[in-house]
Chains A and B, each alone.
Chain A
Amino acid sequence: MKILLVEDDGETADYVARGLTEAGHLVDRAADGREGLILASDGGYDALVVDRMLPKLDGLGLVRALRAAGVKTPALFLTARAGVGDRVEGLEAGGDDYLVKPFAFAELAARLNALARRPPLQGEPTVLRVGDLEMDLLRRAVARAGRRIELQPREFRLLEYLMRRPGQVVTRTMLLEGVWDFHFDPRTSVVETHISRLRAKVDRDFGADLIHTVRGAGYAIRAPDRG
């Protein structure tokens, strides 16, 4: 992916750029809002990573200006502000995701992947498939290898969230936000317990595991390797 990083703090910028480059992405850097706006206006990027507090033009202003100009490149805000209203403010300005500093690099990588690979809104699929697992979104039914699996509504949403991002790493906080609408970090490992419940239903009685733990990052659902 081609990613534009707009960040004035040199050390954070180095760290993010290095990580993204190692992960195989192409990274351009801008150190202030105006430079970022000029680069991003081409629209040639797959995703933008924008710090909220920037010299010359702040992050909110940058994304607002881009959206006003019709540039729809997905944008992720980085911020040192973790206020309750700040996230909403960022999303209202046209941002697509919001990450509070400091963050684990794996979190940023997973979220960028999710943003850039978001499926287009039209042509919404009615059936999701990963390996021999099948989810019928209209009948709200799940089956694996032809055997029906009974899920609670929230388990269904959790599995749906994973199956809509096959092969992608999904972090704990992404699940908390996306499935339960929790925008804070509970001290109890609630995500882990829900995942293990889901695994008991989806993976336990079948040969190959579909839900994988990605160490230090989160979870991913993917079909077993055939080779």
Chain B
Amino acid sequence: MRPIEGSGRRRGLPAWLRTTAFRVTLLHLVLTLAGTATLSGVAWLATIGFAARQLAADVEQDAGVLLRVARLGGAPSVAAMVDARMAADRTGTEYYLLAARDGARLAGNLAQAPRAAGWRTLRLEGGEKPGAEVLAHGTRLPDGAFLVVARDLAPVRNLESRLLGAAGWVGGTALLLGLLGGALMGHGVARRAAAMGAALAAVEAGEIGRRLPVRAGGDEFDRLAGRINATLDRLQELMATVRQVTDDVAHDLRTPLSRLRQRLEAAQRDAGPQGEAVTGAIEECDRILGVFEALLRIAQVEGGARRASFSRFDLSGVVEAVAEVYGPAAEERHQTLVARVAPGVAAWGDRELATQMLANLVENAVRHGREGGTVEVGLERGPRGGAVVTVADNGAGIPASERGRVFRRFHRLDAARSSPGTGLGLALAKAVADLHGMAIDLGDNAPGLRVTVSVPPLPRQDARSA
């Protein structure tokens, strides 16, 4: 089977990771997370901002009350008030500091405090809760004393961490569910795509009656599979028609040709020594039959039905045998046939067809090679378990511009038109190579033609027994 571009395991990722479904889920997940993040941000601003403003308002109000007390009764009244407040605070979240103009502490539980008016966030060093954060507001009193009112920030911080935790849970769950859903969907899609691919590969391998699985559900995959199945039905019909026509032609032409040949042969027997003309007619009849035979065989090979009976065969043996068969024929043309065959090379396919392909190539080399030249036949192991067969001569070769066309049926180079041959040998060789997934390549032997056939490695399950 020909490997399809991009079907290999790229970058080692499993198949479900490389599905459209997984990618769409991933994109969806990113958008969901972005939405969650925005929502969390808005909630954050609303709640934390509100709590912080509440705390600040509390401090501001308290400081305002104390400032009014200071205006009425001076620092001593404020000190008494602060003491009273502290005594009444059961939550331990209220902090005060009243300092005289010279800096001496008059009242309060704050160990240290800034001496500038305005808002501050302080971290307590010592006292009951070292390290606790407080929001502090400093006010200069009319008599020159300095008042700091502060509140513990712990409730706000608690709220923050709760909110963060909640956002983490929501985001994490979304992420997990998204990934899980994506993996499941990706896996499902990958599995269905693999099932479709396997069915198509089986069809390509010659199991023409195989169809793609279609579920009762009827989603877009099933509709696509149904469409492909309909196409395959049509293809199978066409192939059956071609086969039928070929069989009919084979039968309907062969029968009269057989009779013609039989009559000629009978006439030859009756004619005795004067049968020369009849002999010529029989030869001509055989030539027609030969062309006809080759055409049918090419059609049959191109049909691909032979793939079903592929097996492992000894490629080294085939190459050796063909080289051996044509050795004396090359000698007749005073050519040296040199065979370099790596031993023990196996291939997957139809031994008989492979033999014929190789025979056609060697026959061409002997026929069109220079008289007295060398015909090389080689088999060597190729990259990744494959093999390479070469057949080279030093005749006139094939001009580069003609190389693509010589595989066509009945195509013959002008120089070869006068010599016998059907113009089907290379077409058959090409059909056989295609059937086996072999690449056949025409190159320059400087001078002459060098044909290279790249043989794919054995299928995996068979290579193990090699």
Interface residues of A (CB under 8 A from B): 9, 11-12, 15, 18, 53, 80-85, 88, 101-102, 104-105, 154, 180-190, 193-194, 196-197
Known A-B contacts A105-B265, A188-B366, A188-B367; the reply to A182 vs B257 at CB < 8 A is: no
Known A-B contacts A102-B254, A102-B262, A183-B352; the reply to A84 vs B301 at CB < 8 A is: yes
Q: Is the CB of B254 within 8 A of A84?
A: no
What distance in Å separates the Cβ of B255 from its nearest Cβ neighbour in chain A?
A: 7
Known A-B contacts A15-B262, A84-B306; the reply to A190 vs B326 at CB < 8 A is: yes
- Among B257, B328, B359, B367, chain A packs the most CB atoms within 10 A around the CB of B328
A–B complex contacts, Cβ < 8 Å, 23 sampled? A12-B258, A12-B259, A15-B265, A80-B254, A81-B250, A82-B296, A85-B306, A85-B309, A101-B258, A102-B262, A102-B289, A104-B265, A154-B325, A180-B324, A180-B325, A182-B355, A183-B355, A187-B363, A188-B329, A188-B367, A193-B329, A193-B331, A197-B328
Picked from B255, B266, B300, B363, the residue with its CB within 8 Å of the CB of A188 is: B363
* 7 tightest Cβ-Cβ pairs between the two chains A and B: A102-B258, A193-B328, A102-B261, A15-B262, A80-B254, A101-B258, A184-B356
Q: Is the CB of A190 within 8 A of B297?
A: no
Q: Label chain A's interface by main secondary structure.
A: loop
Q: Is the CB of B324 within 8 A of A154?
A: yes
List residues 199-258 of chain B with CB under 8 A from any CB of chain A: 247, 250-251, 254-255, 257-258
B284 within 8 Å of A (CB atoms)? no
Q: Is the CB of A84 within 8 A of B352?
A: yes
Q: Is the CB of A84 within 8 A of B329?
A: no
B118 within 8 Å of A (CB atoms)? no
B421 within 8 Å of A (CB atoms)? yes
Q: B293-332, CB under 8 A of A: which get 1 and which 0? A: 1001100110001100100000000000100111011011
Across the interface, which residues of B come within 8 angstroms of A9, CB to CB? 255
Beyond the given pairs A82-B297, A102-B259, A190-B326, 10 more chain A to chain B contacts, judged by CB atoms under 8 angstroms and listed by A's residue number, are A9-B255, A11-B262, A80-B250, A82-B296, A102-B254, A154-B324, A183-B352, A186-B363, A190-B325, A193-B328
- Among B321, B331, B352, B366, chain A packs the most CB atoms within 10 A around the CB of B352
- Among A9, A11, A85, A188, chain B packs the most CB atoms within 10 A around the CB of A188
Q: Is the CB of A188 within 8 A of B355?
A: no
Q: Is the CB of A181 within 8 A of B262?
A: no
Q: B64-79, CB under 8 A of A: which get 1 and which 0? A: 0000000000000000
What distance in Å separates the Cβ of B316 from its nearest Cβ neighbour in chain A?
A: 14
B12 within 8 Å of A (CB atoms)? no
How many angstroms between the C-alpha atoms of A185 and B261 in the bound complex?
Answer: 18
How many angstroms between the C-alpha atoms of A104 and B255 in the bound complex?
Answer: 14
List residues 320-366 of chain B with CB under 8 A from any CB of chain A: 321, 324-326, 328-329, 331-332, 350, 352-353, 355-356, 359, 363, 366
What distance in Å separates the Cβ of A172 from its nearest Cβ neighbour in chain B?
A: 12
B290 within 8 Å of A (CB atoms)? yes
What distance in Å separates the Cβ of B360 from its nearest Cβ neighbour in chain A?
A: 8
List residues 25-47 of chain B with CB under 8 A from any CB of chain A: none
What distance in Å separates the Cβ of A102 from its nearest Cβ neighbour in chain B?
A: 4
What distance in Å separates the Cβ of A132 from its nearest Cβ neighbour in chain B?
A: 25
B420 within 8 Å of A (CB atoms)? yes
Q: Label chain B's interface by main secondary structure.
A: helix
How many angstroms between the C-alpha atoms of A182 and B262 in the bound complex?
Answer: 25
Q: Is the CB of B259 within 8 A of A83?
A: no
Q: Is the CB of A101 within 8 A of B254?
A: yes
Known A-B contacts A11-B262, A15-B266, A186-B363; the reply to A80 vs B251 at CB < 8 A is: yes
Across the interface, which residues of A come within 8 angstroms of B331, CB to CB? 193
How many angstroms between the C-alpha atoms of A122 and B459 in the bound complex?
Answer: 40
Across the interface, which residues of A come within 8 angstroms of B309, CB to CB? 85, 88
Across the interface, which residues of B come within 8 angstroms of A88, CB to CB? 309
Across the interface, which residues of B come within 8 angstroms of A80, CB to CB? 250-251, 254-255, 258
What distance in Å separates the Cβ of A207 from its nearest Cβ neighbour in chain B?
A: 25
What distance in Å separates the Cβ of A59 from its nearest Cβ neighbour in chain B?
A: 14
Across the interface, which residues of A come within 8 angstroms of B301, CB to CB? 84
How many angstroms between the C-alpha atoms of A185 and B247 in the bound complex?
Answer: 21
How many angstroms between the C-alpha atoms of A197 and B331 in the bound complex?
Answer: 10
Known A-B contacts A9-B255, A12-B259, A85-B306; the reply to A187 vs B329 at CB < 8 A is: no
How many angstroms between the C-alpha atoms of A208 and B259 in the bound complex?
Answer: 41
What distance in Å separates the Cβ of B238 from its nearest Cβ neighbour in chain A?
A: 19
Known A-B contacts A190-B329, A193-B328, A193-B332; the reply to A84 vs B353 at CB < 8 A is: yes
Q: Is the CB of B332 within 8 A of A84?
A: no
Across the interface, which residues of B come within 8 angstroms of A82, CB to CB? 250, 293, 296-297
How many angstroms between the C-alpha atoms of A67 and B182 in the bound complex?
Answer: 62
How many angstroms between the C-alpha atoms of A9 and B255 in the bound complex?
Answer: 9
What distance in Å separates the Cβ of B312 from its nearest Cβ neighbour in chain A?
A: 16
What distance in Å separates the Cβ of B114 from its nearest Cβ neighbour in chain A?
A: 101
Q: Is the CB of B259 within 8 A of A11?
A: yes
- Among B251, B262, B301, B329, chain A packs the most CB atoms within 10 A around the CB of B262
Q: Is the CB of A84 within 8 A of B262?
A: no
How many angstroms between the C-alpha atoms of A88 and B332 in the bound complex?
Answer: 34
Known A-B contacts A82-B293, A101-B254, A102-B289; the reply to A182 vs B325 at CB < 8 A is: yes
Chain A residue at minimum C-beta to C-beta distance from B289: A102
How many angstroms between the C-alpha atoms of A101 and B292 in the bound complex?
Answer: 12
Across the interface, which residues of B come within 8 angstroms of A53, CB to CB? 251
How many angstroms between the C-alpha atoms of A84 and B290 in the bound complex?
Answer: 15
What distance in Å separates the Cβ of B328 from its nearest Cβ neighbour in chain A?
A: 4
How many angstroms between the C-alpha atoms of A11 and B262 in the bound complex?
Answer: 9
Across the interface, which residues of B come within 8 angstroms of A11, CB to CB? 259, 262
How many angstroms between the C-alpha atoms of A3 and B457 in the bound complex?
Answer: 49
- Among A9, A183, A184, A194, chain B packs the most CB atoms within 10 A around the CB of A184
How many angstroms between the C-alpha atoms of A82 and B353 in the bound complex?
Answer: 13
Across the interface, which residues of A come within 8 angstroms of B293, CB to CB? 82
Across the interface, which residues of A come within 8 angstroms of B325, CB to CB? 154, 180, 182, 186, 190, 194
What distance in Å separates the Cβ of B217 from its nearest Cβ neighbour in chain A?
A: 41
Across the interface, which residues of A come within 8 angstroms of B329, CB to CB? 188-190, 193
What distance in Å separates the Cβ of B252 from its nearest Cβ neighbour in chain A?
A: 9
Q: Is the CB of B258 within 8 A of A84?
A: no
Across the interface, which residues of A come within 8 angstroms of B300, CB to CB? 83-84
List residues 397-452 of chain B with CB under 8 A from any CB of chain A: 420-422, 425
